[in-house]
Structure 1
Amino acid sequence: MKNKLFYSVIALIVLASAVFWGYMFQSTEAEQPESETPDYFDGSFELTMYHAEGCECCVEWAKYLENNGVDVTSELVEDLHEMKREKGVPGQLSSCHTAIADGYVIEGHVPIEDIRQLLAERPAVIGVSVPGMPPNSPGMDQPVENTYQSVIFDKENMYIYNTHN
């Protein structure tokens, strides 16, 4: 019971943070970094997801990716916050799992189309994030009306990448 309460409180904090930063990003009018479009990208890729034990939405996100043709390797880590720090994920973009696909960081419940777009465009960024845990994002699958954004980021900047309903 204590574990459920703990994860519920953490989820609410992360969600509130995501809403706050979502409003902050909406006012960002910066130009996105240039892309290096490869000659060929067929939309297929492999991904390694790092997550803590007991996080069921991480498992659901991995299933969602696998149902969309992605080869997912799942690895449990003891200190996910340390991994996020090492991979360059800003705290305000944090979510419940961190993944790596072709050298890019994929943070949180990022939709497949955003990952494929990132891998096809190859912008000069660290990765893409869906901050927090939006209830209607892949793997969360709550039937609520909610708009959320994916954000690409590098060491100094964050840019809205896509908006999802």
Structure 2
Amino acid sequence: MKRRSLLLIAAGAASAAALPALAGLPQVEVFKTPQCGCCTDWVEHLKAAGFPVKVTVVEDTAPVRKRHGIPDKLGSCHTGVVAGYAVEGHVPAADVKRLLAMKPVAAGLSVPGMPAGSPGMEMGGRQDPYQVLLVDKAGRTMVFASYPRT
């Protein structure tokens, strides 16, 4: 009986240790238009990665993007806001987590357009190459991550 109790305690401790990692992720507020389905798929991608998500439906995401320092030329179909950063378009959740861990002085991340194969834009086996851009507060960019064609 002692061995069984010890195993149950160990299992409980392991589960409890995993909870702070999930509970520690900040909420992402996603601004999307009512007619966009791929935005909903991106929200599900974030939730699957452990992010709590709040969806706010707006008629136009451009004002949100502008308010958070993302130039229109870097726009996509939805804008997320997390921990003071903008997350524009179909940015992989792993890159959002890396941004939050690095805490750079920046406006946020962007995947301009809607590249096939990015999270929320899955199209069977099609994977177009794309880059996740780090956007500084002046609107300049540098490559944060690259995803090649597969």
**Pick from 105, 112, 115: which aligns with 2:96?**
115
Between 1 and 2, higher relative CO (CA 8 Å, sep ≥ 6) is seen in 1
Q: Given residue 143 of structure 2, which amino acid in structure 1 is its aligned partner? A: I
The percentage of counterpart residues that share the same residue type is 36
- Pair 1:147 & 2:117 matched: no
Give the unaligned 5+ runs of structure 2. 1-19
In structure 2, give the amino acid aligned to 1:56. Answer: G
Corresponding residue to 1:104 among 85, 104, 111: 85
Structure 1 moving runs of 4+ over 3 Å = none
Q: What letter matches 1:55 in structure 2?
A: C
Confirm or deny that 1:93 pairs with 2:74. yes
Q: Following TM superposition, by how much is the alpha carbon of 1:44 offset from its aligned partner in structure 2, in angstroms?
A: 2.3
Match of 1:134 among 115, 129, 136: 115
Q: Identify unmatched segments of 5+ residues in structure 1.
A: 1-40
One-letter identity of the residue aligned with 1:117 = R
C-alpha distance in structure 1 between counterparts of 2:79 and 2:50, whole Å: 19
Partner of 1:26: none
Deviation for aligned residue 1:45: 2.5
TM-score (norm 2): 0.78
The one-letter amino acid of 1:62's match is V
Q: Which residue of 2 aligns with 1:63?
A: 44
Query: Which structure: larger Rg?
Result: 2
**Aligned-residue CA RMSD (Å):** 1.5
